[in-house]
Structure 1
């Protein structure tokens, strides 16, 4: 999704935006629980001068060597989602950098995702601080492991976690992640959406705020 006034003579920062379990790349841009207003939310923020011109990439994040699509909610399928970090860093990011006019480096690269995509965003953000300076997670799924911290000088410019008060899928899992980062004195934004459920209204609220805070470091 390039900005409306995309110009090959100009370079743009990049946001990678990831879907959840059982879903595909369309979920975060057109096919949500209802109408996904991703284009309008990001486009309006840019048009108002509240967000930087940016390219937004919506990848398919199921990454298995043996099957094309998710077949169950179990450890093997979880591993395929966790394996997306390899597709992202070895194939997708080089492809985007080759085919689009993009700024590179952590100062110009952001990642966020919904549910399982939120889990992956936190995992990838902690594992590859050299690549991503802005990390978001919307109603992130269980299973994030690691130190819940970064080495000095490797912290993201922005860590932004969104949770919904009415999330009947991951319940208080995002709150636990928030507590872990707080305990480790990691600066971050805890964005709690009153009435937010595990779906579109939490995603819309996150994107509205997240894109306005990107690429300002």
Structure 2
């Protein structure tokens, strides 16, 4: 048998085993002995199960496990931990976690070295190039991540023209409860995602709509419109929902951090202010973002010091600009920061995890702000460059806006 035919044969066998295992999972759910995974137990431990009698090794990996360091060409990163599952006499593999804190968690199953989604869990989210299952321990960040019985805002996928980018592009827009039936004008928060993400990231993994609904209902935040942009200026929208069809997602996109997104940002402000009932002045505009989005938020704000009174940097990649592009956007950073603070912004907010790989660059930024006596708010949390922190930062940042 030739090598290529042998590889195809092995691939066929593996896919057949996975298909058979998936059918077996479904068959168990139709019977009286329903197999459940994940199962959140009363003590907040979580049990994962998979029927795979022919598998040699099954593991679970996720952000509910202790992190492990993974070395890449760009440095060491915190990666989700891995735990071995055990097989019973019926071929069911299982693992029960320790008691978990309230939070939204992501995970995958690894079957004989191949990472797959849990066939018993219909809840999954794509993050960049990977698909993860999700589960929640209720009560995360004081219950802000849950769908509560409160008035709900509307989340829309909206297309707008960006003449600067030469594209019709999409953003996600949250309008607060009562927007459709009222006449009030609202302030706007422009909320930006990280590298490899898109306009769906904050509404899906970030739980932005739930956080906004709950904060507004509790009277902890002013009703506002939240515009979640696509920070990849070469894209029309998220992968699979553009004129390019089902293109394979990638982190390596052109023009992500080379000045073109910052240059085109006025296009979306113009669209929002021509389309929605919003206040159109600096005191009613905020911009914030995570990682790459924090990088964009910093440089958009300092290049446009009369545009935003509120700036939020969440684990911001403040010194990671690409070479080429429009370098004038990134030149003279400190001089531009001086110019921004001369305009007396109402809030300059920085959030950072203690083990984040971007900690030092943000410390250098804070050292400069301190040396000039500029007022800013800083929150340091446990952990690293993870969604768990970014949801916390959004929950802490929003109540301080538009006071």
Q: Same fold (TM over 0.5)?
A: yes
> Are 2:311 and 1:135 equivalent residues in the alignment?
yes
The structure showing larger relative contact order (alpha-carbon pairs under 8 Å, at least 6 residues apart) is: 1
Aligned residues: 204
Match of 2:391 in 1: 204
Instruction: Give CA-to-partner distance per residue, 1:31-77, whole Å, 9 cap, x none.
Output: x3xxx322121211111111111000000012249xx9876378x64
Shift, 1:127, TM fit: 1.2
Shift, 1:8, TM fit: 4.6
Match of 1:159 in 2: 348
Shift, 1:155, TM fit: 2.5
> Are 2:188 and 1:14 equivalent residues in the alignment?
yes
Residue correspondence of structure 1 range 109-188 to structure 2 within 5 A: 109-143=285-319, 145=330, 146-147=333-334, 148-150=337-339, 153-167=342-356, 169-188=357-376
Computing the radius of gyration from Cα coordinates, the structure with the larger value is 2
Checking the alignment, whether the CA contact within 8 Å between 1:119 and 1:143 is kept in structure 2 is: yes
- Give distance in 2, aligned partners of 1:150 and 1:134: 15
Residue correspondence of structure 1 range 74-93 to structure 2 within 5 A: 77-79=256-258, 82-89=259-266, 91-93=267-269
Checking the alignment, whether the CA contact within 8 Å between 1:2 and 1:55 is kept in structure 2 is: yes
Checking the alignment, whether the CA contact within 8 Å between 1:17 and 1:113 is kept in structure 2 is: yes
The structure carrying a bigger strand percent of its residues is 2
Unaligned runs of 5+ in 1: none
The structure carrying a bigger helix percent of its residues is 1
Instruction: Give CA-to-partner distance per residue, 1:2-42, whole Å, 9 cap, x none.
Output: 01221451100000000111111111120x3xxx3221212
TM-score, reference length from structure 1: 0.86
Checking the alignment, whether the CA contact within 8 Å between 2:189 and 2:285 is kept in structure 1 is: yes
Instruction: Give CA-to-partner distance per residue, 1:64-121, whole Å, 9 cap, x none.
Output: 49xx9876378x6421xx32122221x1111111111001111000000000100111
- Give distance in 2, aligned partners of 1:111 and 1:152: 15
Unaligned runs of 5+ in 2: 1-173, 236-243, 321-329
Match of 1:27 in 2: 201
- Give distance in 2, aligned partners of 1:129 and 1:37: 29
TM-score, reference length from structure 2: 0.48
- Give distance in 1, aligned partners of 2:279 and 2:221: 16
User: Which deviates more, 48-57 or 143-152?
Assistant: 143-152
- Give distance in 2, aligned partners of 1:142 and 1:13: 26
